[in-house]
Amino acid sequence: MWHGRFKTDTAESVKKFTQSLDIDWRMYEADIEGSIAHVKMLGHTGILKPEEALKIESGLHEVLKEIQTGKFTPSESLEDVHMNIEARLTEIEPLGAKLHTGRSRNDQVATTTRIYLRKRLHSLTEDLKELMRVFLNAAERHKNIIIPGYTHMQQAQPVSMGHYWLSWFEAFMRDYSRLHFALDSLNECPLGAGALAGSTLPLDREMTSQLLGFDSPARNSLDTVASRDYMMDYHYFASMFMIHISRLCTDLITWNTQEFAFVILPDAFCTGSSMMPQKKNPDVLELSRGKTGQVIGNMIDLLINLKGLPMTYNRDLQEDKRGLWASLDTVESVMKIIAALIDEVEVDEKISRSGIDKGYSLATDIAEYLVMKGIPFRDAHTITGRLVGWCIENNIAFGDMSLEQWKEHIPDADEAMMKILSPEESVRRRNVYGATGFEQVKKQITEGHERLDALR
Protein backbone atom coordinates (compact mmCIF):
# COMPACT_ATOMS: atom_id res chain seq x y z
CA MET A 1 0.00 0.00 0.00
CA TRP A 2 1.30 3.46 -0.91
CA HIS A 3 1.45 6.23 1.67
CA GLY A 4 2.28 9.36 -0.33
CA ARG A 5 5.72 8.57 -1.73
CA PHE A 6 6.30 5.66 0.67
CA LYS A 7 5.53 2.04 -0.22
CA THR A 8 5.54 0.63 3.33
CA ASP A 9 4.40 1.67 6.78
CA THR A 10 6.89 3.23 9.15
CA ALA A 11 8.49 0.58 11.35
CA GLU A 12 7.04 0.42 14.85
CA SER A 13 10.50 0.88 16.34
CA VAL A 14 10.92 4.07 14.31
CA LYS A 15 7.51 5.36 15.39
CA LYS A 16 8.45 4.82 19.01
CA PHE A 17 11.85 6.45 18.52
CA THR A 18 10.53 9.51 16.70
CA GLN A 19 7.36 10.19 18.71
CA SER A 20 7.28 13.37 20.77
CA LEU A 21 3.95 12.93 22.53
CA ASP A 22 5.65 12.61 25.89
CA ILE A 23 7.17 16.06 25.30
CA ASP A 24 4.45 18.03 23.57
CA TRP A 25 1.10 16.78 24.87
CA ARG A 26 1.15 19.51 27.51
CA MET A 27 0.72 22.01 24.63
CA TYR A 28 -2.66 20.68 23.49
CA GLU A 29 -4.54 23.83 24.46
CA ALA A 30 -2.03 26.08 22.72
CA ASP A 31 -2.12 23.89 19.60
CA ILE A 32 -5.92 24.10 19.41
CA GLU A 33 -5.77 27.86 19.96
CA GLY A 34 -3.39 28.19 17.02
CA SER A 35 -5.56 25.94 14.84
CA ILE A 36 -8.71 27.93 15.59
CA ALA A 37 -6.97 31.15 14.52
CA HIS A 38 -5.70 29.42 11.38
CA VAL A 39 -9.10 28.09 10.34
CA LYS A 40 -10.77 31.46 11.04
CA MET A 41 -8.27 33.00 8.65
CA LEU A 42 -8.91 30.30 6.02
CA GLY A 43 -12.64 31.07 6.18
CA HIS A 44 -12.07 34.84 6.10
CA THR A 45 -9.87 34.71 3.01
CA GLY A 46 -12.17 32.35 1.09
CA ILE A 47 -9.63 29.51 1.03
CA LEU A 48 -12.33 27.58 2.87
CA LYS A 49 -16.03 28.25 2.68
CA PRO A 50 -17.24 30.13 5.78
CA GLU A 51 -19.50 27.25 6.78
CA GLU A 52 -16.58 24.79 6.46
CA ALA A 53 -14.42 26.93 8.69
CA LEU A 54 -17.19 27.15 11.30
CA LYS A 55 -17.66 23.37 11.35
CA ILE A 56 -13.93 22.80 11.75
CA GLU A 57 -13.73 25.38 14.52
CA SER A 58 -16.65 23.74 16.30
CA GLY A 59 -14.89 20.37 16.00
CA LEU A 60 -11.73 21.82 17.53
CA HIS A 61 -13.71 23.07 20.51
CA GLU A 62 -15.17 19.57 20.88
CA VAL A 63 -11.68 18.02 20.84
CA LEU A 64 -10.57 20.47 23.53
CA LYS A 65 -13.56 19.58 25.67
CA GLU A 66 -12.84 15.85 25.27
CA ILE A 67 -9.22 16.33 26.33
CA GLN A 68 -10.15 18.45 29.35
CA THR A 69 -12.73 15.93 30.55
CA GLY A 70 -10.46 12.95 29.95
CA LYS A 71 -12.68 11.46 27.26
CA PHE A 72 -9.95 11.61 24.62
CA THR A 73 -6.64 9.86 25.28
CA PRO A 74 -3.84 10.49 22.78
CA SER A 75 -2.10 7.68 20.94
CA GLU A 76 1.67 7.40 20.67
CA SER A 77 1.24 5.88 17.22
CA LEU A 78 0.11 9.30 15.97
CA GLU A 79 3.50 10.72 16.91
CA ASP A 80 2.71 14.07 18.51
CA VAL A 81 0.08 16.40 19.94
CA HIS A 82 -0.59 18.00 16.55
CA MET A 83 -1.42 14.76 14.69
CA ASN A 84 -3.46 13.41 17.60
CA ILE A 85 -5.67 16.51 17.64
CA GLU A 86 -6.06 16.60 13.87
CA ALA A 87 -6.89 12.89 13.71
CA ARG A 88 -9.56 13.19 16.41
CA LEU A 89 -10.94 16.33 14.78
CA THR A 90 -11.35 14.51 11.49
CA GLU A 91 -13.20 11.67 13.24
CA ILE A 92 -15.63 14.20 14.72
CA GLU A 93 -15.85 16.34 11.57
CA PRO A 94 -14.51 14.92 8.25
CA LEU A 95 -13.91 18.48 7.06
CA GLY A 96 -11.04 18.48 9.58
CA ALA A 97 -8.92 17.07 6.76
CA LYS A 98 -8.88 20.64 5.38
CA LEU A 99 -7.48 22.19 8.58
CA HIS A 100 -3.86 21.82 7.52
CA THR A 101 -4.41 23.82 4.35
CA GLY A 102 -1.62 26.40 3.99
CA ARG A 103 0.20 25.13 7.06
CA SER A 104 3.18 22.89 7.80
CA ARG A 105 3.97 21.19 11.04
CA ASN A 106 7.09 23.37 11.03
CA ASP A 107 5.23 26.65 11.44
CA GLN A 108 2.51 24.93 13.48
CA VAL A 109 5.01 23.63 16.04
CA ALA A 110 6.77 27.00 16.22
CA THR A 111 3.45 28.77 16.80
CA THR A 112 2.16 26.29 19.38
CA THR A 113 5.41 26.41 21.33
CA ARG A 114 5.43 30.20 21.40
CA ILE A 115 1.81 30.38 22.58
CA TYR A 116 2.49 27.89 25.36
CA LEU A 117 5.80 29.43 26.39
CA ARG A 118 4.32 32.94 26.39
CA LYS A 119 1.68 31.84 28.90
CA ARG A 120 4.27 30.20 31.13
CA LEU A 121 6.55 33.23 31.03
CA HIS A 122 3.70 35.57 31.92
CA SER A 123 3.05 33.36 34.94
CA LEU A 124 6.74 33.47 35.85
CA THR A 125 6.75 37.27 35.77
CA GLU A 126 4.06 37.27 38.44
CA ASP A 127 5.97 34.74 40.55
CA LEU A 128 9.15 36.78 40.20
CA LYS A 129 7.39 39.98 41.22
CA GLU A 130 6.09 38.21 44.32
CA LEU A 131 9.60 36.99 45.12
CA MET A 132 10.94 40.54 44.82
CA ARG A 133 8.18 41.81 47.10
CA VAL A 134 9.18 39.23 49.70
CA PHE A 135 12.75 40.56 49.62
CA LEU A 136 11.53 44.14 50.04
CA ASN A 137 9.47 43.03 53.05
CA ALA A 138 12.49 41.24 54.52
CA ALA A 139 14.54 44.41 54.00
CA GLU A 140 11.91 46.40 55.88
CA ARG A 141 11.82 43.82 58.68
CA HIS A 142 15.60 43.76 59.15
CA LYS A 143 16.64 47.25 58.06
CA ASN A 144 18.01 48.20 61.48
CA ILE A 145 19.85 44.94 62.13
CA ILE A 146 23.60 45.08 61.54
CA ILE A 147 25.54 42.11 60.18
CA PRO A 148 29.12 41.67 59.00
CA GLY A 149 29.59 42.34 55.30
CA TYR A 150 32.05 40.04 53.57
CA THR A 151 34.52 40.06 50.72
CA HIS A 152 36.65 36.96 50.11
CA MET A 153 34.56 35.40 52.92
CA GLN A 154 36.44 37.67 55.34
CA GLN A 155 34.72 40.31 57.46
CA ALA A 156 34.93 43.58 55.57
CA GLN A 157 32.55 46.28 56.86
CA PRO A 158 29.30 46.33 58.85
CA VAL A 159 26.12 46.51 56.77
CA SER A 160 22.41 46.65 57.35
CA MET A 161 20.71 43.28 56.87
CA GLY A 162 18.05 45.21 54.99
CA HIS A 163 20.75 46.36 52.60
CA TYR A 164 21.74 42.73 52.08
CA TRP A 165 18.19 41.71 51.16
CA LEU A 166 18.00 44.68 48.79
CA SER A 167 21.08 43.42 46.96
CA TRP A 168 19.07 40.38 45.88
CA PHE A 169 16.11 42.55 45.00
CA GLU A 170 18.39 44.33 42.50
CA ALA A 171 19.66 41.04 41.08
CA PHE A 172 16.12 39.75 40.59
CA MET A 173 15.07 43.05 39.04
CA ARG A 174 17.72 42.46 36.35
CA ASP A 175 16.37 38.93 35.97
CA TYR A 176 12.93 40.43 35.46
CA SER A 177 14.30 42.54 32.58
CA ARG A 178 15.83 39.42 31.04
CA LEU A 179 12.54 37.56 31.42
CA HIS A 180 10.65 40.36 29.68
CA PHE A 181 13.21 40.39 26.89
CA ALA A 182 12.50 36.68 26.40
CA LEU A 183 8.78 37.45 26.23
CA ASP A 184 9.33 40.20 23.69
CA SER A 185 11.58 38.01 21.54
CA LEU A 186 8.97 35.27 21.12
CA ASN A 187 6.12 37.62 20.26
CA GLU A 188 6.16 37.16 16.47
CA CYS A 189 3.69 34.77 14.84
CA PRO A 190 5.17 31.93 12.75
CA LEU A 191 1.87 30.87 11.11
CA GLY A 192 2.09 31.23 7.36
CA ALA A 193 5.80 30.51 7.13
CA GLY A 194 4.88 26.99 6.05
CA ALA A 195 7.57 24.36 5.88
CA LEU A 196 10.16 27.01 5.05
CA ALA A 197 9.06 29.11 2.06
CA GLY A 198 5.58 30.41 2.85
CA SER A 199 2.59 29.43 0.70
CA THR A 200 1.06 30.00 -2.74
CA LEU A 201 -2.30 30.40 -1.02
CA PRO A 202 -3.54 33.93 -0.16
CA LEU A 203 -2.97 33.60 3.59
CA ASP A 204 -3.65 36.59 5.81
CA ARG A 205 -0.75 36.42 8.23
CA GLU A 206 -1.64 39.71 9.87
CA MET A 207 -5.03 38.27 10.82
CA THR A 208 -3.68 35.14 12.49
CA SER A 209 -1.04 37.20 14.25
CA GLN A 210 -3.67 39.54 15.70
CA LEU A 211 -6.03 36.72 16.64
CA LEU A 212 -3.26 35.04 18.62
CA GLY A 213 -2.08 38.21 20.32
CA PHE A 214 1.32 38.45 18.66
CA ASP A 215 2.91 41.80 17.85
CA SER A 216 3.38 40.90 14.18
CA PRO A 217 3.95 38.01 11.80
CA ALA A 218 7.53 36.69 11.82
CA ARG A 219 9.33 38.41 8.96
CA ASN A 220 11.35 35.71 7.22
CA SER A 221 9.91 32.27 6.60
CA LEU A 222 13.30 30.53 6.56
CA ASP A 223 14.39 32.09 9.84
CA THR A 224 10.96 31.51 11.38
CA VAL A 225 11.06 27.72 11.23
CA ALA A 226 14.81 27.51 11.97
CA SER A 227 15.18 29.90 14.88
CA ARG A 228 15.09 28.92 18.53
CA ASP A 229 16.57 32.20 19.72
CA TYR A 230 13.49 32.93 21.80
CA MET A 231 14.08 29.71 23.73
CA MET A 232 17.71 30.67 24.29
CA ASP A 233 16.60 34.04 25.63
CA TYR A 234 14.47 32.22 28.20
CA HIS A 235 17.31 29.82 29.04
CA TYR A 236 19.70 32.71 29.67
CA PHE A 237 17.20 34.32 32.03
CA ALA A 238 16.66 31.00 33.81
CA SER A 239 20.38 30.31 34.18
CA MET A 240 21.14 33.75 35.59
CA PHE A 241 18.15 33.57 37.92
CA MET A 242 19.27 30.20 39.26
CA ILE A 243 22.86 31.41 39.67
CA HIS A 244 21.52 34.25 41.81
CA ILE A 245 19.44 31.77 43.80
CA SER A 246 22.43 29.47 44.23
CA ARG A 247 24.63 32.27 45.61
CA LEU A 248 21.85 33.40 47.95
CA CYS A 249 21.46 29.83 49.20
CA THR A 250 25.18 29.56 49.90
CA ASP A 251 25.08 32.70 52.04
CA LEU A 252 22.10 31.51 54.07
CA ILE A 253 23.46 27.98 54.45
CA THR A 254 26.76 29.40 55.72
CA TRP A 255 25.20 31.97 58.04
CA ASN A 256 22.90 29.30 59.49
CA THR A 257 25.85 27.15 60.63
CA GLN A 258 26.80 27.07 64.32
CA GLU A 259 30.05 28.82 63.42
CA PHE A 260 28.14 31.89 62.12
CA ALA A 261 24.67 31.32 63.61
CA PHE A 262 23.16 34.73 62.97
CA VAL A 263 20.58 33.59 60.42
CA ILE A 264 17.68 31.51 61.72
CA LEU A 265 15.95 29.37 59.09
CA PRO A 266 12.29 28.38 59.62
CA ASP A 267 11.89 24.84 60.91
CA ALA A 268 9.24 24.10 58.30
CA PHE A 269 11.82 24.49 55.52
CA CYS A 270 14.49 22.30 57.10
CA THR A 271 14.78 18.58 57.79
CA GLY A 272 16.32 16.32 60.41
CA SER A 273 18.85 13.54 60.17
CA SER A 274 18.06 9.83 60.11
CA MET A 275 20.91 9.27 62.59
CA MET A 276 21.80 12.52 64.38
CA PRO A 277 18.95 13.94 66.50
CA GLN A 278 20.50 17.40 66.83
CA LYS A 279 20.60 18.17 63.11
CA LYS A 280 18.57 20.87 61.37
CA ASN A 281 19.52 20.60 57.72
CA PRO A 282 18.83 23.42 55.21
CA ASP A 283 17.58 20.99 52.56
CA VAL A 284 15.40 23.46 50.64
CA LEU A 285 18.37 25.78 50.16
CA GLU A 286 20.71 22.93 49.26
CA LEU A 287 18.28 21.43 46.74
CA SER A 288 17.64 24.82 45.16
CA ARG A 289 21.39 25.30 44.79
CA GLY A 290 21.72 21.77 43.43
CA LYS A 291 19.06 22.32 40.76
CA THR A 292 21.04 25.22 39.31
CA GLY A 293 23.31 22.88 37.36
CA GLN A 294 20.31 21.24 35.71
CA VAL A 295 18.96 24.57 34.50
CA ILE A 296 22.35 25.66 33.14
CA GLY A 297 22.71 22.22 31.56
CA ASN A 298 19.42 22.65 29.73
CA MET A 299 20.73 25.89 28.23
CA ILE A 300 23.96 24.21 27.12
CA ASP A 301 21.97 21.29 25.69
CA LEU A 302 20.03 23.57 23.34
CA LEU A 303 23.11 25.59 22.40
CA ILE A 304 24.94 22.44 21.35
CA ASN A 305 21.86 21.17 19.50
CA LEU A 306 21.69 24.39 17.48
CA LYS A 307 25.34 24.96 16.72
CA GLY A 308 25.69 22.57 13.79
CA LEU A 309 22.24 22.77 12.20
CA PRO A 310 21.88 23.97 8.61
CA MET A 311 18.99 26.18 7.57
CA THR A 312 16.12 25.55 8.05
CA TYR A 313 14.13 22.96 10.03
CA ASN A 314 15.82 19.75 11.14
CA ARG A 315 14.33 17.00 13.27
CA ASP A 316 16.99 17.64 15.90
CA LEU A 317 14.81 20.56 16.93
CA GLN A 318 12.18 18.17 18.27
CA GLU A 319 14.50 17.86 21.28
CA ASP A 320 14.36 21.61 21.97
CA LYS A 321 11.45 21.29 24.38
CA ARG A 322 12.58 18.52 26.71
CA GLY A 323 15.07 20.72 28.53
CA LEU A 324 12.79 23.74 28.19
CA TRP A 325 9.97 22.09 30.10
CA ALA A 326 12.34 20.81 32.77
CA SER A 327 13.81 24.27 33.21
CA LEU A 328 10.41 25.98 33.38
CA ASP A 329 9.16 23.55 36.01
CA THR A 330 12.34 23.89 38.09
CA VAL A 331 12.48 27.69 37.98
CA GLU A 332 8.80 27.98 38.87
CA SER A 333 9.10 25.66 41.87
CA VAL A 334 12.27 27.34 43.14
CA MET A 335 10.75 30.83 42.87
CA LYS A 336 7.78 29.83 44.96
CA ILE A 337 9.55 27.90 47.69
CA ILE A 338 12.36 30.44 48.12
CA ALA A 339 9.78 33.22 48.44
CA ALA A 340 7.99 31.26 51.16
CA LEU A 341 11.26 30.52 52.99
CA ILE A 342 12.64 34.09 52.91
CA ASP A 343 9.33 35.34 54.27
CA GLU A 344 10.10 33.49 57.52
CA VAL A 345 13.87 33.93 57.87
CA GLU A 346 14.96 35.75 61.02
CA VAL A 347 18.27 37.21 62.17
CA ASP A 348 19.88 36.91 65.60
CA GLU A 349 20.98 40.51 66.09
CA LYS A 350 23.04 39.76 69.19
CA ILE A 351 25.14 37.12 67.44
CA SER A 352 25.59 39.13 64.25
CA ARG A 353 26.71 42.11 66.33
CA SER A 354 29.16 40.06 68.41
CA GLY A 355 30.91 38.91 65.26
CA ILE A 356 31.56 42.53 64.29
CA ASP A 357 32.68 43.57 67.79
CA LYS A 358 35.36 40.86 67.86
CA GLY A 359 36.82 41.85 64.51
CA TYR A 360 38.36 44.87 62.86
CA SER A 361 35.72 45.75 60.27
CA LEU A 362 35.77 49.39 61.40
CA ALA A 363 39.32 49.83 60.10
CA THR A 364 38.14 51.59 56.95
CA ASP A 365 36.16 54.04 59.08
CA ILE A 366 39.36 54.94 60.92
CA ALA A 367 41.30 55.41 57.68
CA GLU A 368 38.55 57.61 56.24
CA TYR A 369 38.40 59.64 59.45
CA LEU A 370 42.13 60.33 59.06
CA VAL A 371 41.53 61.36 55.45
CA MET A 372 39.11 64.01 56.71
CA LYS A 373 41.96 65.19 58.96
CA GLY A 374 44.03 65.84 55.83
CA ILE A 375 46.11 62.64 55.79
CA PRO A 376 46.47 61.07 52.30
CA PHE A 377 44.44 57.89 52.03
CA ARG A 378 47.43 55.63 51.31
CA ASP A 379 49.14 56.89 54.45
CA ALA A 380 45.96 56.52 56.47
CA HIS A 381 45.59 52.97 55.12
CA THR A 382 49.13 52.11 56.23
CA ILE A 383 48.72 53.63 59.69
CA THR A 384 45.44 51.80 60.29
CA GLY A 385 46.84 48.53 58.94
CA ARG A 386 49.76 48.67 61.37
CA LEU A 387 47.30 49.23 64.21
CA VAL A 388 45.28 46.17 63.17
CA GLY A 389 48.48 44.10 63.16
CA TRP A 390 49.35 45.29 66.67
CA CYS A 391 45.82 44.51 67.92
CA ILE A 392 45.95 40.98 66.54
CA GLU A 393 49.38 40.36 68.11
CA ASN A 394 48.12 41.60 71.46
CA ASN A 395 44.67 39.99 71.19
CA ILE A 396 42.83 43.25 71.73
CA ALA A 397 39.73 44.50 69.92
CA PHE A 398 39.17 48.09 68.84
CA GLY A 399 36.38 48.43 71.37
CA ASP A 400 38.70 47.49 74.23
CA MET A 401 41.25 50.26 73.55
CA SER A 402 41.40 53.47 75.54
CA LEU A 403 41.90 56.86 73.91
CA GLU A 404 45.48 56.89 75.22
CA GLN A 405 46.20 53.59 73.48
CA TRP A 406 44.71 54.94 70.27
CA LYS A 407 46.95 57.99 70.45
CA GLU A 408 50.03 55.80 70.84
CA HIS A 409 49.36 54.43 67.37
CA ILE A 410 47.40 57.26 65.78
CA PRO A 411 48.38 60.67 67.16
CA ASP A 412 45.40 62.24 65.36
CA ALA A 413 42.93 60.09 67.33
CA ASP A 414 40.52 62.13 69.46
CA GLU A 415 37.18 61.94 71.23
CA ALA A 416 35.33 62.60 67.95
CA MET A 417 36.95 59.52 66.40
CA MET A 418 36.02 57.41 69.38
CA LYS A 419 32.37 58.33 68.91
CA ILE A 420 32.25 56.91 65.39
CA LEU A 421 33.80 53.57 66.34
CA SER A 422 30.61 51.54 66.62
CA PRO A 423 28.85 49.36 64.04
CA GLU A 424 25.75 51.57 64.27
CA GLU A 425 27.72 54.71 63.48
CA SER A 426 29.65 52.94 60.75
CA VAL A 427 26.43 51.97 58.99
CA ARG A 428 24.64 55.26 59.69
CA ARG A 429 27.44 57.37 58.23
CA ARG A 430 27.47 55.48 54.93
CA ASN A 431 24.81 57.75 53.59
CA VAL A 432 25.75 58.06 49.92
CA TYR A 433 23.22 56.92 47.33
CA GLY A 434 23.04 53.13 47.10
CA ALA A 435 25.04 52.58 50.29
CA THR A 436 24.14 50.70 53.45
CA GLY A 437 23.25 53.72 55.61
CA PHE A 438 19.98 53.33 57.48
CA GLU A 439 18.39 56.33 55.75
CA GLN A 440 19.55 55.08 52.35
CA VAL A 441 18.07 51.64 53.02
CA LYS A 442 14.72 53.21 53.87
CA LYS A 443 14.81 55.17 50.62
CA GLN A 444 15.81 52.06 48.65
CA ILE A 445 12.89 50.10 50.11
CA THR A 446 10.42 52.85 49.18
CA GLU A 447 11.95 53.17 45.73
CA GLY A 448 11.90 49.38 45.34
CA HIS A 449 8.16 49.21 45.96
CA GLU A 450 7.60 52.01 43.46
CA ARG A 451 9.70 50.25 40.82
CA LEU A 452 7.93 46.97 41.47
CA ASP A 453 4.48 48.54 41.20
CA ALA A 454 5.49 50.19 37.92
CA LEU A 455 6.56 46.96 36.22
CA ARG A 456 4.54 46.16 33.13
Domain identity same for 368 and 407: yes
Name the burial class of residue 241, with classes exposed (0-12), middle (13-18) and buried (19+) by CB atoms within 10 angstroms of its CB: buried
Q: Can you give the pLDDT at residue 6?
A: 82
Task: Identify whether 312 is preceded by a cis peptide bond (ω within 30 of 0).
Answer: yes
Catalytic entry in 273, 333, 381, 426 = 273
Domain identity same for 442 and 332: no
Domain identity same for 372 and 247: no
- Has residue 292 been placed in a domain? yes
- Has residue 111 been placed in a domain? no
261 φ/ψ sector (left φ>0, alpha ψ -120 to 50, else beta) = left
417, 406 in Cβ contact below 8 A? yes
Please, which residues have CB within 8 angstroms of residue 29's CB and are 6 or more apart in sequence?
64, 67, 116
Number of domains in the chain: 3
- Has residue 400 been placed in a domain? yes
Whole-angstrom Cα distance, residue 298 to residue 292? 10
Q: Residue 375: which CATH number? A: 1.10.40.30
Is 273 annotated in the active site?
yes
- Has residue 433 been placed in a domain? yes
- Has residue 180 been placed in a domain? yes
Domain identity same for 32 and 167: no
Is 152 annotated in the active site?
yes
Q: Residue 77: which CATH number? A: 1.10.275.10
Q: What is the pLDDT of residues 293-344, one digit of tens each?
A: 999 999 999 999 999 999 999 999 999 999 999 999 999 999 999 999 999 9
Domain identity same for 390 and 307: no
Domain identity same for 228 and 331: yes
- Residue ranges of the chain with per-residue pLDDT less than 50: 1-2
Against a cut of 0.75, is the pTM above it?
A: yes
Domain identity same for 373 and 289: no
- Has residue 393 been placed in a domain? yes
* CA 162 to chain CA mean position, Å: 22
Domain identity same for 166 and 306: yes
- Has residue 1 been placed in a domain? no
Domain coverage including residue 19: 12-101
**Number of other CB atoms surrounding residue 320 within 10 Å:** 18
- Among 322, 347, 372, the domain boundary falls at 347
Domain identity same for 167 and 244: yes
98, 12 in Cβ contact below 8 A? no
Q: Can you give the pLDDT at residue 3?
A: 60
Domain identity same for 64 and 133: no
Domain identity same for 31 and 91: yes
Q: Residue 140: which CATH number? A: 1.20.200.10
- Has residue 328 been placed in a domain? yes
Can you say whether the dihedral through the CA atoms of 285, 286, 287, 291 is positive or negative?
A: positive
Domain identity same for 297 and 253: yes
- Among 291, 326, 347, the domain boundary falls at 347
391, 398 in Cβ contact below 8 A? yes
- Among 347, 373, 405, the domain boundary falls at 347
Catalytic entry in 13, 152, 274, 402 = 152
28-45 and 50-69 helices cross at what angle (nearest 10)?
170
